[in-house]
């Protein structure tokens, strides 16, 4: 376990809204070289070019978007995509909201591997595992 306060690496963090209950889920983390400035530049670029999943879009022009800078290192992005399902008489447009922020990794530790549960006396007596 190493504390890296002040000397951490810089990351771009992408969250998407989940369900209709205002929850957010971290879906993508991008380590960035170039310090804080490099991470801010990368995050701003991603806000303008990401797909509705939060990853770099192959064709960013296929999406509509509104990018709001909410803080010096944070953006709220509304990404829209239109499709025309075969059984519909008109196209539908789906919108997704993403939060893109820059963060400095200050601490990291690996998740410990858990051990299998111990056999209880009753389970051993009954021949269970």
What is d(CA 15, CA 55) in angstroms, rounded to the nearest whole number?
11
Residue for token pair 């530790």: 109
In sequence order, which residues have a C-beta less than 8 Å from that of residue 96 and are 6 or more positions away? Answer: 16, 17, 52, 53, 78, 79, 80
Token pair listed for 34: 């170039």
> pLDDT of 8-53, one tens digit each?
799 999 999 887 667 999 999 999 999 999 999 999 999 999 999 9
- Compute φ and ψ for 61, nearest 5 degrees: -70, -10
Residue for token pair 């797909």: 51
Q: Kindly indicate the confidence band of residue 128, based on its pLDDT and cuts at 50, 70 and 90.
A: low
Indicate if the pLDDT at residue 56 is higher than 60: yes
Q: Answer for the pair 25, 34: CB distance below 8 angstroms, yes or no.
A: no
- Confidence at residue 7, expressed as pLDDT on a 0 to 100 scale: 57
What is d(CA 6, CA 121) in angstroms, rounded to the nearest whole number?
51
Q: Vertex 50, ends 46 and 51: CA angle to 5°?
A: 170
The overall pTM is greater than 0.85? no
Residue for token pair 């709220």: 76
Interstrand relation of 64-71 and 10-18 (parallel, antiparallel or unpaired): unpaired
């Amino acid at each position: 376990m190493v504390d890296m306060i002040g000397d951490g690496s810089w990351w771009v963090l992408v969250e998407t809204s989940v369900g209709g209950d205002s929850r957010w889920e971290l879906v993508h983390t991008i380590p960035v070289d170039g310090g804080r400035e490099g991470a801010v530049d990368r995050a701003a670029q991603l806000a303008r070019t990401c797909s509705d999943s939060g990853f770099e879009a192959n064709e960013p022009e296929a999406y509509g978007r509104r990018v709001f800078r909410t803080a010096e290192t944070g953006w709220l992005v509304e990404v829209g995509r239109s499709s025309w399902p075969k059984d519909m008489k008109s196209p539908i447009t789906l919108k997704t909201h993403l939060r893109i922020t820059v963060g400095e990794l200050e601490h990291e530790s690996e998740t410990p591997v858990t051990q299998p549960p111990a056999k209880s006396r009753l389970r051993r007596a009954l021949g269970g595992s």
